[in-house]
């Protein structure tokens, strides 16, 4: 969905550009606009923006596929308030579910901790999960002992947190990995999405 947005935006910028502009000269200005729009969040000071524009003097790679980083204006994808509501709901609901799970699965060194908006799940010697919000990108970042680092975006179509590169669904991923690691399934984690989006509709 977001990649479609990028393509549409690029087409609209190209159409607005004067006919004599060559593609080569357009790319750096395009790139600068993308990076600056991303950087110019309300709480970012002007000198950081200046630094960013001088930093981004080379052509930015904007790949169609999921290989490299994509520069998207996240503010138009999801408003900050909406993002906080969704992300906080997800993490808090997940925390409750994991605490219940901890009572069921008898694992030495099992610990669920939530502090400074970071959720840490320790599974003793099996590894540690860390989940946190990444507000500028409107993402939830997960670090998993099985799949390593992943960055999830809110997908409006499926109403779920999805990692674009692997198309992985956050709650589905956790369900399968926890079952794999602990040998005990965590029930109906995906149902949490209904709860999260229901809360979103009520506010």
Partner 1 sequence: MLRLVAKRLLGTASRDIPSRPLQILPRLYHENVIDHYNNPRNVGSFDKNDPNVGTGLVGAPACGDVMKLQIKIDEESGKIVDACFKTFGCGSAIASSSVATEWVKGKSMDEVLTIKNTEIAKHLSLPPVKLHCSMLAEDAIKAAVKDAEAKRAKMNATLKGADVKSG
Neighbours of 190 (CB within 10 A): 14
Binding site for partner 1 (CB under 8 A): 35, 38-39, 41, 44, 48, 51-52, 55-61, 63, 67-69, 118, 127-130, 132, 134, 136-137, 141, 143, 145, 148-149, 151
Q: Which is nearer to partner 1, 95 or 134 (CB)?
A: 134
Q: How far is the CB of 190 from partner 1 (least distance, A)?
A: 24
CB of 175 to partner 1, least distance (A): 19
- Give 135 or 176: the residue with its C-beta nearer to partner 1: 135
- Which H or E element spans position 15? helix 2-16
Place of tokens 């799970």: 101
Q: Which residue from 51, 94, 107, 74 is spatially nearest to 1, judged by alpha carbons? A: 74
Quote the crossing angle between the two packed helices 80-104 and 192-202, to the nearest 10°.
140
Give me the count of residues in the chain: 203
Please, which residue, 56 or 162, has the CB nearer to partner 1? Answer: 56
- Is 61 or 191 the residue whose CB approaches partner 1 more closely? 61
Q: Residue 43 Cβ, how far from partner 1 at the closest point, in Å?
A: 9
- Cα–Cα distance measured from residue 107 to residue 3, given in angstroms and rounded to the nearest whole number: 41
Q: How far is the CB of 13 from partner 1 (least distance, A)?
A: 19
According to DSSP, the residues that pair with 112 across neighbouring strands are 121
């Amino acid at each position: 969905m977001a990649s479609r947005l990028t393509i549409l935006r690029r087409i609209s910028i190209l159409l607005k550009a004067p006919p004599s502009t060559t593609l080569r000269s357009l790319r750096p200005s395009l790139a600068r606009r993308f990076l600056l729009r991303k950087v110019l969040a309300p709480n970012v000071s002007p000198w950081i923006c200046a630094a960013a524009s001088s930093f981004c003097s080379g052509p930015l790679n904007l790949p169609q596929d999921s290989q490299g980083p994509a520069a998207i204006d996240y503010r138009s994808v999801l408003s900050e308030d909406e993002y906080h509501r969704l992300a906080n709901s997800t993490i808090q609901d997940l925390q409750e579910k994991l605490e219940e799970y901890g009572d069921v699965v008898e694992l030495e060194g099992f610990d669920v901790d939530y502090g400074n908006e970071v959720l840490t799940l320790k599974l003793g010697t099996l590894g540690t999960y860390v989940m946190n919000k990444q507000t500028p990108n409107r993402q939830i970042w997960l670090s998993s002992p099985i799949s390593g680092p992943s960055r999830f975006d809110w997908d409006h179509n499926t109403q779920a947190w999805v990692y674009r590169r692997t198309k992985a669904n956050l709650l589905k991923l956790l369900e399968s990995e926890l079952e794999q690691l602990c040998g005990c399934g965590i029930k109906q984690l995906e149902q949490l999405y209904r709860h999260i989006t229901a809360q979103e509709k009520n506010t």
